[in-house]
Structure 1
Amino acid sequence: MAFISAEADNLTVLNLFGAKSAAAQEKLLTTMRGIIDSADFPGWISSTLFGGIAEPGTANYIQWRSAEDLQNRYHGEKFQREIVPLFDELATSVRLLQTEVVFTRRRAGLDAIEIGPDHDHFTVLAVMGVAPDDQQELVDLFAQEDDWLTGFPGYLSNSILRGTDGTFVVNFAQWESQAAYDVFHTLPEQERPEDVRKTRLRARSLLTSHEYNTYRPVHTRSAAPAAARS
């Protein structure tokens, strides 16, 4: 199992792969399951794999002890010689996003934010480009108290991840179902509280880009504690 927490001092990497079709997505998922199940890299903590819903593709939510451990993995001969060409062959696009979790919010009564197929939550992942000078303001906007959101039917949690290069912010959200999220997502602006509308308007004004997809969790695996520390 894997958990999201702003208190954990880990590096979080989001590997986002595009795919041509549902069949190509399944090939990516099969390949990634194999890599996750054989993972024994120093500093690797967990990997949770998601399959795209709105658009074909995959997302891999990976937790590492440090950026140094990640670089040792990515610069390794096997990764460069075997894994990179394989993904280039299977995917239409590849994004490797290094982030840190800076804020989490969850529905009352939800003790922790767990990700994985044991909790088949409808997952929404938005990557928002931002100028480095505006990144902290965007984070602060999303980190405000929002009783309206936490009380919205079907809402479970959302986590804000800050790109370590200063150029993007990620909103990783969980909902009970796609139907519940669709009600929230399509709600007319005038039916949202005034303070929420103002926050959304200001946030949109800061964005330089916006990428979005919805997912289902399909696989997860975590290292033994001793392995993650080695």
Structure 2
Amino acid sequence: MPAINTEDKHLTVLNLFTTDAPEKQDSLIQEMTKIVQAAAYEGWMSSTVHAGVDSPGTANLIQWRSSVDLENRYAGEEFKHRTLPVFGEITTSIRLLQNEIAYAVTHPSLGGVLEVDPNRGDYTAITVVGVAQEDQAELVKVLSTDQADLADVPGFRSLAVFKGLRARGVDGAFVVLYSQWESKEAYDAYREQPQTEQPAARQTAEARVKDLATSVDSNTYRVVLTRSAEA
């Protein structure tokens, strides 16, 4: 299974698609499945397709050896003249986010390994936080500090913080949070915990994030397909 590891130096791409109807989400997943099952691109390492839960849409977490390999894919005739037009017909927005891993934490039961596994039934939240370029490093630091308390949160499985490098469909700098939970109920309970009951470190961090963020966009997902080059 694909794993997210702060020791890895490869490029992580998150392709986020939104649409306005569940049946269009089904079409997106079908199109993504075709691409993933046939993938044999130079430098491609893995792709993991997520189906939207809270709002219709999909996310594809893709690992590439380097940004050069990805740009070669983007420059190809298939991507320009078939892939993008097909997705353009069934989506309301397309964001292609290139990132590097900055921080990761897992529940002790996972042995420090952050895997993306469709068989585990994770309830996955992906949040894109817009930020001024000069504040991006501080935002990454704030989101990556004092997160050890998460291990004690019921239902928590993992959190990865990605520093955005460049993107199509997004203006300005950004940071991405990718978190895995045992269930929707566990995630909602964490999100809705009264501020007075939160650890002091969380209160401080969330207040600073609110100051730094220029936009926040989030959706939740279930992993439906993964494939690696090794397979």
Q: TM-score, normalised by structure 2?
A: 0.95
**Counterpart position of 1:200:** 206
**Equivalent in the alignment of 1:86:** 86
Give the aligned partner of residue 161 of structure 1. Answer: 162
Stretches of structure 1 that go unaligned for 5 or more consecutive residues are 226-230
In 1, Cα distance between the equivalents of 2:83 and 2:65?
Answer: 21
Aligned to 1:139: 140
Q: Is the 8 A contact 2:17 2:57 kept in 1?
A: yes
* Counterparts of residues 2-17 of structure 1 (less than 5 Å): 2-17=2-17
Alignment of 1:24-173 (within 5 A): 24-111=24-111, 112-165=113-166, 167-173=173-179
Distance 2:102 2:148 in 1: 19
* Deviation sequence 1:165-192 (CA, Å, 0-9, x none): 4700000000011111111111111110
CA distance in 1, matches of 2:210, 2:177: 13
Kindly provide the CA deviation profile for residues 91-135 of structure 1, in whole angstroms up to 9, marking residues without a partner as x.
Answer: 111000000111101111312111031221000000000011111
Q: Secondary structure at the match of 1:172?
A: strand
For 2:147 and 2:176, locate their aligned partners in 1 and report how far apart those are by CA, in whole Å: 18
Q: Is the 8 A contact 2:105 2:148 kept in 1?
A: no
**% identical equivalent positions:** 42
RMSD across aligned positions (CA)? 1.1
Look up the equivalent residue of 1:109 and give its one-letter code.
S
Which amino acid in 2 is paired with 1:22? Answer: P
Secondary structure class of the residue paired with 1:24: helix
How far is the alpha carbon of 1:143 from its aligned partner?
Answer: 1.2
Structure 2 residue runs without a partner (length 5+)? 167-171
AA aligned opposite 2:216: H
Q: 2:191 aligns with which of 176, 182, 185?
A: 185
Correspondence for 2:180 among 145, 164, 174: 174
Give the C-alpha shift of residue 150 in structure 1.
1.4
Moved over 6 A (4+): none
Task: Report the AA paired with residue 223 of structure 2.
Answer: P
TM-score, normalised via structure 1 length? 0.95
**In structure 2, what is the Cα distance between the partners aligned to 1:213 and 1:79?**
26
Give the deviation of 1:49 after TM superposition: 0.3
